[in-house]
Amino acid sequence: MKKSILFLSVAAAMAMPAQAVELYNDGVNQITLGGHLTAQLSNVDWYQGVDVDTQLRPNSPRINFGFNRDLGNGYALDAKIETGYNMMTSGNSFSTRLGYMGVSHEDYGRLSFGKEWSTYYDAAWWTDMPVVFSSDQLGIYTGDTDGGDSGMGRADKAIQYRKGFSLGDFGNLNLGLQWQGENGALDQRIGGSLIYQIGEFKLGTSYVGGDINGEYKIYGNTVVDSTKHDAELTSWQVSAAYGQWGKDLYLAASYQQGTNTEAGMRFTGDSIGMEFLAAYGFETNTTAFVSYRQLESDGKVEMAYTDDQRPGFADNGDGEWNESFVSFGVHQNLTSNTLLFAEYNISTGDDRDGDNQYAVGFRFFL
């Protein structure tokens, strides 16, 4: 398969030191096992900038199985099943993270179906590298979800097409397209990405959007009523990155403009998000980073949750939302599949009622 197509495989590209374990390979069919487990001691649970009691937490463990098959004549089939689970308490806690299948051709690109990382995420993930204090200001995880309904994160019931174009000495151009059907109050949604890469430099933009018809609900709460609010859920972002995470200098920056991407969790209406990340990977397999993230509303702060459901999520009374954070940390790769990490988060914005946060932990990649 051509390198330009492989570049667009977000799931493979974002797995920092991880390598899937090959369980079976007969030259035509391949089965792999992947995922990770994490033990994290921290005073942060899920909501960055809102402190809680220090506890041992799992931080999104998951397990996945990948399937690849050579179909001949330049065609290949790939599929993945990934589930998340709670590794530290009892009870039924399994949840679907990914589930898709795709067919690719060396010349024609890749067509895929199911629950897959969105085309919006193709470039937005470049600032999403830290283990704990990472991308939460670009609307990816819409309304405190995985971005499945909106199609901004792990898109639900999506059809995607990706194609890479070689420009010779002038680099590579990569195109992504996405479609989702009507889902409740969310009308049909389209999305896409366009990424240019030359050497160590990448520049990308992505979009997702569609109309809202009626009452858009998240976890049973009406977060947007199209008769009272903007009757759309849209987002556009542009990102740039230089280098490779964990190897010498790595720089990434993203800028986002959205409508109703934060509905229910923070505010309805328009938003502007920014993220900046700088890191350096030393020869000792140590990576140090610093990041800045900011999210602002351009409209009324209106939440569908009570204070008990989202402790610490409250504006300062000026009717607008402004949160920002400075984070820094160190990651140490002990081996190719084991990681020690320590991260610290400082709240610098006007909103969210919380103290600074920390997290230290150990992650094991399957």
Residue-level pLDDT at 354: 64
Would you state the pLDDT for residue 318? 75
The count of C-alpha atoms lying within 13 angstroms of the C-alpha of 298, restricted to the half-sphere facing its C-beta, is: 12
In this predicted structure, what is the pLDDT of residue 135?
84
| SS3 state of residue 33 | strand
Look at residue 7 in the predicted model and tell me its pLDDT: 43
DSSP string, 49-85: T-----EEE--S-EEEEEEEEEEETTEEEEEEEEEE-
Where do we find the tokens 């998951």?
A: 62
What's phi and psi for 185, nearest 5 deg?
Answer: -80, -10
Buried b (16+ CB within 10 A) or exposed e, 133-168: bbbbbbbbbbbbbbbbbbbbbbbbebebbbbbeeee
Yes or no: say if 125 and 195 are a contact pair by the CB < 8 Å rule.
no
Cα separation of 222 and 305, whole Å?
Answer: 10
Residues 114 and 116: their CA atoms lie apart, in Å, by: 6
* pLDDT of the residue at 309: 65
Residues of the chain with pLDDT under 70: 1-19, 46-49, 51, 299-300, 303-315, 353-354
pLDDT at 96: 92
Per-residue pLDDT, 9: 46
Which secondary structure element, helix H or strand E, spans residue 11, and what is its range?
A: helix 10-13
Q: How far apart are the first and last CA of the chain?
A: 25
And the tokens for 349? 């914005």
